[in-house]
Chains A and B, each alone.
Chain A
Amino acid sequence: MFENLAAGFIAAFSLPNLGALFFGTVVGIVVGILPGLGPMVGMVVLLPFSFAFPPDVALSLLLGVFCGGYFGGGIPAVLMRTPGVPSSLITSFDGYPLTQKGEAQTALSAVLLGSFAGGIISVFILAFLAPILAHVAASFGPPEYLTVAVFGVVLVVMAFRDRLAQGLMLLGLGFWFSTVGIDGATLSPRFTFGTLAMQNGLHIIPICLGLFGIGQTLLLLERNILTTDSMNLSRSTLDFSKLWVVLRYWKTLIRSGVIGTFVGLLPGTGSILASFMSYDMAKRFSKEKDRFGKGTPEGCLASEAGNNAVPAGAMIPLLTLGIPGDALSAVLLGVFTINGIYPGPLLLIKEPVLINTIYWSMLLINLVAFIILVIWLRPFAMIVKVPGRLLAVVIMVVSVVGIYAVNTRLFDAEVAVAMGVLGYILLRLNWPIVNLVMGVVLGEIVEDRLRQTLSLGEGSLSILFDRPICVFVILLTVLIIAVPLIMDRRRKHH
């Protein structure tokens, strides 16, 4: 175990890995600070470049964007009440009032310390929980995987239950995308419409790049340019004395990090819920409840610790079950599979050095992001003034060329543009686009396990009820559907 930990440490501190994680973190902070972009856009744009690197370096690059994005998102939320990433909206509840009172440095100290601690706590939980879950998952057969995947799908659908019909349609569409091409088991062509290009199927990378790299940026073209001259910062670096003020709330910090990790672990729940739950719990346990919403560093701290714990939390089901918890970890799954590495319970046994490199890299990313923002707070905060429209057209062209470069196939670029159109429409309609991505990612897993389970049961799914883990997960799935619906109904009656 310690050999692997040491080997991971050495790999994480290698020059290419340090360079990749530093660059990824900077890109992540930038796209996190810029409202309307977010870590997903940063990840999909860097994705084609990542294929030139070994898997550990590629993952560090993208994890840097993933974590850095959440670090950056809190800054415009505090300074301008404009969240860089959606989950930072909760940070603005207390961050912006503090800025108005002339205490922007205190709010930003809470944001950065919260993000840093949330990230570190979640990596420790990941390192502790992943082997335990992998050990449990090692006994999984196709029926168990099927029920877990369906549980994940149901969680995603129920997370957007106010748009249930739309969510189901998009999930179905994502599943359908995953069926296009040659069927792996029977080698039958499916929905290829007689074309050779479609036989390779619709890969997750051009789909994600199109939906987010092009769709999101098309939407950005319609946003007004942010015009702000005042950043209300007394100095260009972070005021260290404020960090000690914020450290008073260390219990909130730990609690929020733990909540964020466990929320991130559940598929489809996302960082907004993590932020909100952490904030809500902080308010309940606080001695200064009245200050929440009026400007308390404790609120900023809780929200940011919660959302920055999500990336490591989302890695837990990805590494141990091969099931990504959200669209961002779905992209990471793409990096694994393109490099011939298949996440699942055996990954921790087969690739222990890679896993330990990921742990160390995630710790380093959080440290690097914290240090970068502590030192260059004002320069990074000023990025918010870069016109989004200029960036949008540049991102589009980089996305198209990048996706072509992955397989040197123009068809992939055409798919990305088509998905960009679809993504733009869905984003403009505010439909739950994450359902579509999860459908594409989980489609192959669900289909393979369904067919294997049906084969085991000779055409019947009753085999699921003979297996204790399946029964437990099915009961959990029923609860996940029933409880929110009952609560919604009660709320309506009241």
Chain B
Amino acid sequence: MGADEESKSRIHDLVGAILGAFALVMLVTIRRQIDTSGPDPFYKGPMIFPLIVLSLILGGSLPSLWRLVRSDGSASWRLDGRGFPTSSLRVLGLLILYLAGLIYLGLEISTCAFLFVSLWIVGQRSGAKLIGIPIGVTVVLYVVFKYFLDVWFPTPVLWELLVE
């Protein structure tokens, strides 16, 4: 699929318009987002560059916004025919849970759990791989980060609760 054909998808225009809207909100609220109380003249101050770059985003989004509003019927919401990314979204959701897991369950349990469920989601059904890979990776991560690199990981909240 060439660039021209791809860009006909309205998803491109929607993403462009979202970026443009974001830049517009930032531009409108910029005085609240940046402290400009210093004595510097404007051209030395902290606002000049953000103003330029937000305008750049807004300017770049205008064609997308125009196409999205105009909607001449030749474009569709179809992107690339690869379907809805169900497994990717599930793994992504798990990854977000994994971040919380690092705090509540700790590195070892959350890594094992994340890998086990993720491998299941992506279609892995071999018992040896479902158990072996999570344990193997967890051991490697433990040895490298906790043992060799001596990286501090937060004490799991659940562990603290159990101890109390």
Chain A residues engaging chain B, CB cutoff 8 angstroms: 49, 52, 162-163, 165-169, 171-173, 175-176, 179, 183, 185-186, 188-191, 193, 214, 218-219, 221-222, 389-390, 392-394, 396-398, 400-401, 404-405, 408, 410, 413-414, 417, 420-421, 424-425, 428-431, 439, 443, 446-447, 450-451, 454-455, 459
Contact A218 B88 (CB under 8 A): yes
A191's closest neighbor in chain B, by CB? Answer: B33
Counting chain B CB atoms within 10 Å of each CB, the highest count among A190, A394, A397, A459 belongs to A397
Q: List 29 A-B contacts (CB under 8 A).
A: A49-B149, A52-B149, A165-B16, A166-B16, A168-B59, A169-B20, A175-B52, A185-B44, A188-B46, A191-B50, A218-B85, A218-B92, A219-B88, A221-B87, A393-B122, A394-B115, A398-B141, A400-B99, A401-B111, A405-B149, A410-B99, A413-B102, A420-B95, A428-B79, A430-B6, A443-B53, A447-B49, A451-B48, A451-B49
CB within 8 Å of A: which residues of B? Answer: 3-4, 6-7, 11-12, 15-16, 19-20, 23, 26, 33-38, 40-46, 48-50, 52-54, 56-57, 59-64, 79-80, 82, 85, 87-88, 91-92, 95-96, 98-99, 102-103, 107, 111, 114-115, 118-119, 122-124, 129, 133, 137, 141, 144-145, 148-149, 151-154
Give the residue of A188, A221, A443 whose beta carbon is less than 8 angstroms from that of B91: A221
A428 to B92, CA, bound (A): 15
A408 adjacent to B151 (CB under 8 Å): yes
CB < 8 Å neighbour of A450 from B6, B12, B49? B49
Q: Which residues of A contact B85 (CB under 8 A)?
A: 218, 221-222, 424, 428
Whether the Cβ atoms of A393 and B57 lie closer than 8 Å is no
In the complex, what residues of A have CB within 8 A of residue B62's CB? Answer: 165
B63 and chain A: residue at smallest CB distance: A165
Task: Determine which of B87, B137, B152 lies in contact with A397 in the assembled complex, contact meaning CB atoms within 8 Å.
Answer: B137
What is the interface of chain B mostly: helix, strand, loop, or mixed? helix
- By secondary structure, the A interface counts as helix
Contact A394 B137 (CB under 8 A): yes
Query: How far is B136's CA from A397's CA once the two chains are assembled, in angstroms?
Result: 13
CB of B145 within 8 A of CB of A169, answer no
Distance between Cα atoms of A219 and B88 in the complex (Å):
7
* Contacting residues, chain B, for A431 (C-beta < 8 A): 12, 15
Task: Out of A167, A172, A390, A454, name the residue touching B133 (CB < 8 Å).
Answer: A390
Task: List residues of chain A with CB within 8 A of the CB of B154.
Answer: 410
Complex interface: chain B residues within 8 A of A221 (CB): 85, 87-88, 91, 122
Q: Determine if A172 and B54 form an interchain contact, defined as CB atoms under 8 angstroms apart.
A: yes
Which of A167, A219, A398 is the most central at the interface, judged by chain B CB atoms within 10 Å of its CB?
A398
Minimal Cβ-Cβ distance residue in A for B107: A401
Contact A165 B48 (CB under 8 A): no
Instruction: Report whether B79 and A429 are in contact in the complex, using a CB–CB cutoff of 8 Å.
Output: yes
* Interchain nearest-CB distance for B45 vs A (Å): 7
> Which residue of chain B lies nearest to A393 when distances are taken between CB atoms in the complex?
B118
Complex contacts, A191 vs chain B, CB 8 Å: 26, 33-34, 50
Contact residues in A for B122 (Cβ distance below 8 Å): 221, 389-390, 392-393
Q: Given that A397-B98, A410-B102, A424-B88 are contacting pairs, would A165 and B149 also be in contact in the complex, using a CB cutoff of 8 Å?
A: no
Task: Please report the C-alpha to C-alpha distance between residue A454 and residue B20 in the assembled complex, in whole angstroms.
Answer: 28
Rounded to whole angstroms, the CA-CA distance of A184 and B85 in the bound complex is 41
Closest 3 CB pairs of A and B: A168-B60, A172-B56, A172-B57
Q: In chain B, what residue has the closest Cβ to A413? A: B99
Tell whether, in the assembled complex, residue A404 and residue B102 are in contact, meaning their CB atoms are under 8 Å apart.
yes
With A394-B133, A417-B96 as contacts: A188 and B124 at CB distance below 8 Å: no
Kindly state the separation between the CA atoms of A133 and B137 in the bound complex, as whole angstroms.
45
CA distance A172 to B38 in the complex (A): 26
Do B38 and A188 touch across chains, with their CB atoms under 8 A apart? yes
With A and B bound together, what is the CA distance between A209 and B12 in angstroms?
24
| Contacts known (A169-B16, A430-B6); A186 close to B99, Cβ less than 8 A | no
Q: How far is the CA of A398 from the CA of B140 in the complex (A)?
A: 10
Q: Identify the closest chain A residue to B141 (Cβ).
A: A401
Indicate if the CB atoms of B82 and A188 lie closer than 8 Å.
no
Q: How far is the CB of A184 from chain B (nearest CB, A)?
A: 9
Asked if residues A175 and B49 are in contact (CB atoms below 8 Å), the reply is yes
Q: How far is the CB of B156 from chain A (nearest CB, A)?
A: 13
Which residue of the partner chain, among A169, A183, A446, contacts B61 with CB atoms under 8 Å? Answer: A169
Give bound CA distance, A398 to B141, whole Å: 8
Inter-chain contacts of B103 with A (CB < 8 A):
410
Contacts of A413 in B (CB 8 A): 99, 102
Within the assembled complex, what's the spacing in Å between the Cα atoms of A450 and B98?
A: 41
Residues of chain A within 8 A (CB-CB) of B23 are: 172, 176
In Å, the complex CA distance between A183 and B49 comes to 11
* A106 vs chain B, min Cβ distance (A): 33
Q: Which has the most chain A C-beta neighbours within 10 Å: B44, B49, B79, B107?
A: B49
Chain B residues with CB under 8 Å of A450's CB are: 48-49
Q: Are B44 and A455 in contact (CB under 8 A)?
A: yes
Inter-chain contacts of B50 with A (CB < 8 A): 176, 179, 190-191
Which of A175, A394, A405 contacts B145 (CB under 8 A)? A405
Complex Cα–Cα for A405 and B23 (A): 32
Q: Specify which chain A residues have a CB less than 8 angstroms from the CB of B15 in the assembled complex.
A: 425, 429, 431
The reply to whether B111 and A183 form a contact with Cβ atoms under 8 Å apart is: no
